[in-house]
Amino acid sequence: MTQLALFDLDHTLLPCDSDYEWGQFLARIGVVDSEYYAKQNERFYQDYKDGKLDIHEFLRFALKPLSEHSREQLKEWHDAFMKEVITGQLRQQAIDLVKRHQDAGDLCCVITATNSFVTRPIVESFGIEHLIATEPAKSSDHPMAPFTGNVQGIPNFREGKIQNLHDWLSRRNLSLDTLPRSYFYSDSMNDLPLLEKVSHPVATNPDDRLRNEAQKRNWPILELFA
């Protein structure tokens, strides 16, 4: 029977935060007001680490630049972002972890709060087909339609990850309850709601709060980038 392997992305498979790094990249190349954007980016990043992020406020901030430029221009910038920032952050330990699950025949999926425009090319770099992410809304169904700056559906954050995962599984006639095994690798206490739902939670490069929680619950702790 199908087994499921879920992976958070930022600070789990990557030793950095792709959302934060994309914001810093846009500031460096002058697409956004560098001083203002870098300051806000830092504030939201700290709120996320502290477990007090207002996801709706953050997404209004993060998705606004996507709505101000053509998809062709955004792709050009993202290609540069991949080369300049992300490629050097792909670690063999993380690639090997994914490959072990793929070789076992597990259904592998990255589940991340970071939006799909930023993350899909990164996820593809790991050879993973499936992605559940926060979805930026588009002005039409055309693949290259402009982004609106809004969110389509439920932000893929905290309990939102559970709802979006249930919907994704149901489209495949699967459910967490009937899968023989389900793994979730995450670094963040923000992912505690989903970690509690899977049969095999793995605290991966965990933040201090998740490390303490994992130790209390006797969950395995994996250090990919030690």
| Catalytic positions | 8, 10
Q: SS3 for 3?
A: coil
Residue 222 CA: distances (Å) to CA of 13, 70, 106, 113, 194: 11, 40, 19, 21, 17
State both tokens at 53: 């992020």
Strands 130-138 and 107-115: parallel
Burial of 146 (0-12, 13-18, 19+ CB in 10 A): middle
- Rounded to an integer, what is the distance from CA 47 to the centroid of its chain? 16
What's the half-sphere exposure (Cβ side, CA atoms, 13 Å) at 82? 16
